[in-house]
Amino acid sequence: MTGQEYTIAVRQDDGSLGSEKRTYWRSHHGPMLSGPGADWSSEIAYTR
pLDDT given for residue 11 in this prediction = 97
Q: Is the pTM of this model over 0.75?
A: no
In what helix (H) or strand (E) does residue 21 lie, and over which residues does it extend?
strand 17-27
pLDDT given for residue 18 in this prediction = 97
Judged against a pLDDT cut of 80, whether residue 48 lies above it is answered with no
Q: In angstroms, what CA-CA distances link 10 with 18, 23, 24, 33?
A: 5, 15, 16, 20
The distance in angstroms from the start CA to the end CA of the chain is 14
pLDDT tens column, 4-47: 999 999 999 999 999 999 998 898 888 888 778 778 888 888 88
Q: Which domains does the chain have, with CATH numbers?
A: 2-47 (2.30.120.10)
Q: Are 24 and 4 in contact (CB under 8 A)?
A: yes
